[in-house]
Structure 1
């Protein structure tokens, strides 16, 4: 005998669990993932534009990497403001306001007449774009039903990581046609077009704060930074993103032997990571059977092993791509595991806790280009060995913390 479908006015069937603020999951996840690619991708677009920007701005590709660093540092700093604001005003309101400002600043970044202005405008772009990530993670925590949060986090974080590949591919293609300035103008247009779907698909969060709610949100973030486990998670995130971005920056700046100076080969190497970024969200239900801290430590270890293996394959582009595939998969697995662990540790102050996490992501992403610039003169393999060592150190640190907590 079949059960009738519940109507909007009837209570749910016995045993059917609902989330009080949950909305339609699939459209929201698709929207947040797409926005993650476009907004977070602004960090990475310049990595594919180093040479045309250097030629246009009368400087060197190594100097143009400062536009990536400037964006990343400003983006990271902006999270410390956007996180508490999200707790106070709700993720949708913060996201809409940030997207309007980011649209204007992104278009402005494409008009820079020299390197100094490019760095300044990238700082403004980073500050305005910073509203997205804390708002997206907070929206998932508050509006996506618990049984779907793992897949939501996997999709959104994979989109953010995939931006490092997808937006570089797109930027390289656009720069070959209309030019590097068009990359920023097209990005601004995509942000502007996203405003209506954000307003229509994302639900507002009921206002529960008081007049001193914003001060309380900032105070909560200060208190959370005193927790050793959270600080360790943030440090691991810095290491993870620094290694990830450094590897892909080095591909552009120096390139491994057999690939350097060949744009099509570099494009293919970037694109080779896409299967991993697509596969990880599909595996999210199975991966979620492992506790998030265990998943994180294992993923960091796998990333370190993959980079160590890749360090001996410089002369074989296909083998190198195959070695980077598990590296990218490990990074895509580690990123949502960090968010899950941070949310579980922070309890109700999720926005305040996710803000330093997002900040640490882009501190790492900002350090990546400089790490690449400092080490590429010693060889592409030397960079990957260094990154592998840092990732392994982060894994051992987190494993030690887990062991202490279990005692």
Structure 2
């Protein structure tokens, strides 16, 4: 007789790969318009500040939608919400490439942002609930890596497409990718158990207030916003820093310097082993310290090789801290896990929205190096926060993807 546990092992690997891929392409939509802003100015004859709304419209819809859809996944199921988000993305994304008026592009970016916001809180809750404890931080590491890599991959993708084709094909091609990914999620990952909580359609929104009654949980959200203020603030500052003397790099060269950060982000999938050995709070603190040191060193020496190395250290610290933070939030939230993770995503992208504003303000005061140092100080200061977080009981085992008494898993 074949041991069901041995049958289950390959399914974890396949599910991890699919969730990583889908997380990467969904969140990449947030960043893919950054290289397109100059094109939008020419095509639609608009100002640079108005062109930036192609990104902001998505960001606000993405952050706000996550609050709603994360809680709704309690009622309708994690997999169902992921499928719905990918389906809507597959339909709406190609239409962006057909518009001839900028206001319609903004409307479709809002719809795209709402569709994308269905995915992150649902995939995080799915990973925590469907993977056993020993695999949980690892899958969260892969998903976190996808979220982080999306900030670079989205820009590289759109920059590459516009070099060979027109900007419209950025959305045509991505629509096809979403369509294929919709079938991957539908057919290849196991169905989760729908909780069917009591209440009406608006109950999930009301439950968000409950997360602030959980001991220690609100402290986690300070770190959530800090991480992405530093991350997006760094990328926003890096562009103008490298384009000025003594570096004077081209747009394409700056993009490849940013891409080097992917090397540091590859630490994230191994976070599970670090947490198992040293504890989730210790790994979180070490990640914040490493990120702070790396960011602080970025402007310490005007040498490109040294700057790239420091940026890799910074990215590695962020990649270490984020999955540990996700695991900590999931543990502290208990039955409010989906709402707690939704609010975490909301705070992340509030931080992402504040990052450029902080960057422009600080750079205007005392320059690029000062901005790097302040952002680094913010990360190092946030290492105090975990000391106020108490873990009162051990994390319980999650429901496995394949329950031991079940040899066949429903996929539809």
TM-score range, shorter chain: 0.7 to 0.9
Compare 60-69 and 97-106 and name the one that shifted more: 60-69
**What's the offset of the Cα at 1:282?**
3.5
Q: Does 1:304 align with 2:292?
A: yes
Deviation string, structure 1 residues 209-263 (Cα, Å, up to 9, x no partner): 2562655544432211334622221121111112101221333456353444513
Out of 92, 98, 110, the position equivalent to 2:97 is: 110
Unmatched runs of 5 consecutive residues or more in structure 2: 394-412
Cα 1:288/1:67, change in 2 over 3 Å: farther
Cα offset for 1:392? 2.1
Matched, 1:171 2:158: yes
The separation in 1 between residues aligned to 2:269 and 2:299, in whole angstroms, is 27
Q: Does 1:391 align with 2:379?
A: yes
Equivalent residue, structure 1, for 2:258: 270
1:62, 1:375 → 2: CA distance? 19
The superposition leaves residues 85-106 of structure 1 with CA deviations (integer Å, 9 ceiling, x where unpaired) of 1111111111111111122332
Q: Please say if residues 217 and 389 of structure 2, whose CA atoms lie closer than 8 Å, have aligned partners that are also in contact.
A: no
Partner of 2:341: 354
Distance 1:81 1:404, change over 3 A: closer
Structure 2 counterparts to residues 114-263 of structure 1, below 5 A: 115-209=102-196, 212=199, 216-227=203-214, 229-252=216-239, 255-257=242-244, 258-263=246-251
Alpha-carbon shift at residue 396 of structure 1 (Å): 2.1
- TM-score calculated relative to the size of structure 1: 0.87
Indicate the residue corresponding to 1:100 in structure 2.
87
SS at match of 2:164: coil
SS at 1:225's partner residue?
Answer: helix
- Secondary structure of 2:193 counterpart: coil
1:117 shift after superposition: 4.1
Does structure 1 retain, via aligned residues, the 8 Å contact 2:266–2:316?
no
Name 1:46's counterpart in structure 2. Answer: 33
CA distance, structure 2, for counterparts of residue 388 and residue 210 of structure 1: 42
1:173 Cα deviation from its structure 2 partner:
1.0
Partner of 1:64: 51
* Cα deviations by residue, 1:325-372 (Å, 9 ceiling, x for unpaired): 011011111111111111110112211111101111111122223333
Q: Aligned partners of 1:277, 1:287: CA distance in 2, in Å? A: 17
Give the Å deviation of 1:154.
0.4
- Which of 19, 26, 30 aligns to 2:17? It is 30
**Deviation of residue 131 (structure 1)?**
0.5
Contact 2:243-2:250 within 8 A present in 1 as well: no
**Contact 1:51-1:60 within 8 A present in 2 as well:** no
1:374 aligns with 2:361: yes
- The alignment partner of 1:194 has SS state of helix
Q: State which drifts further: 258-267 or 295-304.
A: 258-267
Deviation, 1:288, is: 3.5
Q: 1:114 to 1:386 in 2, by over 3 A?
A: farther
Q: TM-score, normalised by structure 2?
A: 0.86
User: Structure 1: where are the runs of 5+ without partners?
Assistant: none
- RMSD of aligned C-alpha atoms? 2.7
**Cα contact 2:137–2:275 (8 A) shared by 1:** no
Shift of the 283–356 alpha-carbon distance from structure 1 to 2, 3 Å rule, reads closer
**CA distance 1:271–1:67, shift in 2 (3 Å):** same
Moved more, 199-208 or 281-290: 281-290
**Matched ranges for 1:72-83 at <5 A:** 72-83=59-70
Q: How many residues align structurally?
A: 391
Greater alpha carbon shift after TM alignment, 207-216 vs 360-369: 207-216
Q: Secondary structure, in 3 states, of the residue corresponding to 1:176?
A: helix
8 Å Cα contact 1:68/1:366 also seen in 2: no
Q: Counterpart of 2:335 in 1: which secondary structure?
A: coil
Question: 1:147-184 CA deviation, whole Å, 9 max, x = no partner?
Answer: 21111000111011011112211121112121333222
Asked if the contact 1:47/1:252 (under 8 Å) is kept, the reply is no
